[in-house]
Amino acid sequence: MAVISGTANKPLAQKIVEALGTELLPVETYRFKDGETGIRIKESVRGYEVFVIQPTSPPVNENLMELLIMLDALRRASVAEITVIMPYYGYARQDRKSKPREPITARLVAELIEAAGADRVVAVDLHVPQIQGFFKIPVDNLTAMPLFADYARDALPFLQNAVVASPDVGGVVRANGLAYRLDNRPLVICDKRRTGTNVAEIVHVIGDVADKDVLIVDDIIDTGGSLMKAAKVFKERGAKNIWAFATHGLFSEGAVEAMEESVLERIVVTDTVRSEYSSEKIQVVSVAPLIAEAIRRIRTNQSISALFD
Ligand code: R5P
């Protein structure tokens, strides 16, 4: 087998191959003067089972195109099978038509990846699990919730008084995934209404946070608005310590600074997206061992879901 990485998150890819006890196969990525991407796989991969690691994180279009070009290069190099490891799936939030004449870009991306030659996809905390159904090939949707549960158990002295909160109705199943792993802590749900692109308001809260410590769970931190608004509402309703757990820390411009100023005491993310910020409030747990174990299981035809039992 061979593991190759695009340029989106080489540090994560490096950790994955270290956990597997192997090395990344060298790939040359270059730019033409007009901005086009060029790729060359530097060793023969004829007949290989290849794992390609590339989160389609910002710059999303660049990283997606690089992934598609890598897949084409591998197919033309006569590999036997390609598994695409997408720790972050860009465009996942465009998963339905919420208004007339909108695209379903998450589905378009799935079709592009399949057309470029993928045989299987491994993702982590897809925005909605239904994205698996946008592909005809198998998709394994790993989750960081067991990692967050371990972190919470080790770091939080106050778990007995904690509730787990989802900042929107769409995230309830995900939040339940953490609550369930923390001795079934009660769930709190925010009724969030989107008022514009990257803007949302919380209009109701279902559940009680007064005198409770609150662990908010989300899949993505983009502007940080969803988590900060939820935290502010919880604080106004008498919450004590408020922590946030989110799998994909995109932290768009200004998000880290805004979160530093917010009432959130700690923000825990994973390394599905390469981190280029420094903040004492933000802690990173690695998904590399989880992804390495998934690769091992795929290779040996073992259950992936058993990883999460
Ligand atoms: C929304 O449905 C997602 O699950 C996230 O809550 C959202 O995308 C986070 O974005 P932001 O950090 O900009 O609020």
Q: What pLDDT score was predicted for residue 198?
A: 73
Going from the Cα of 19 to the center of ligand 1, the distance in angstroms, rounded, reads: 31
Ligand 1 pocket, residue 198 CB under 6 Å: yes
Specify the CATH class of 145-285 in words. Answer: alpha beta
Ligand 1 pocket, residue 125 CB under 6 Å: no
Beta-carbon contacts of residue 299 (< 8 Å; ≥ 6 apart): 1, 49
Buried b (16+ CB within 10 A) or exposed e, 228-247: bbbbbbbbebebbbbbbbbb
Q: What pLDDT score was predicted for residue 263?
A: 97
Q: Of all atoms in ligand 1, which is nearest to the CA of residue 198?
A: 13
Q: What pLDDT score was predicted for residue 200?
A: 78
Separation between Cα atoms, residue 67 and residue 110, nearest integer Å: 12
Going from the Cα of 174 to the center of ligand 1, the distance in angstroms, rounded, reads: 13
CATH 3.40.50.2020 residue ranges for the chain: 2-143+289-308, 145-285
Q: For residue 210, which amino acid is it?
A: A
Tens digits of pLDDT across the chain (309 residues)? 999 999 999 999 999 999 999 999 999 999 999 999 999 999 999 999 999 999 999 999 999 999 999 999 999 999 999 999 999 999 999 999 989 999 999 999 999 999 999 999 999 999 999 999 999 999 999 999 999 999 999 988 767 899 999 999 999 999 999 999 999 999 999 998 877 777 778 889 999 999 999 999 999 999 999 999 999 999 999 999 999 999 999 999 999 999 999 999 999 999 999 988 889 999 999 999 999 999 999 999 999 999 887
List the one residue out of 20, 77, 93, 78 whose CA is nearest residue 53. Answer: 20
Annotated catalytic sites, by residue?
192
Ligand 1 pocket, residue 92 CB under 6 Å: no
- Torsion sign over Cα 271, 273, 278, 279: negative
Q: What pLDDT score was predicted for residue 80?
A: 98
Instruction: Report which protein residue has its CA nearest ligand 1's atom 7.
Output: 220
Ligand 1 pocket, residue 247 CB under 6 Å: no
Token pair for 68: 């598609």
Going from the Cα of 127 to the center of ligand 1, the distance in angstroms, rounded, reads: 9
Specify the CATH class of 2-143+289-308 in words. Answer: alpha beta
pTM above 0.85, yes or no: yes
Ligand 1 pocket, residue 222 CB under 6 Å: yes
Among 190, 226, 251, 257, which residue has the most ligand 1 atoms within 8 Å of its CB, making it the best to mutate? 226
Ligand 1 pocket, residue 220 CB under 6 Å: yes
Q: What pLDDT score was predicted for residue 159?
A: 79
Ligand 1 pocket, residue 95 CB under 6 Å: no
Instruction: Report which protein residue has its CA nearest ligand 1's atom 5.
Output: 220
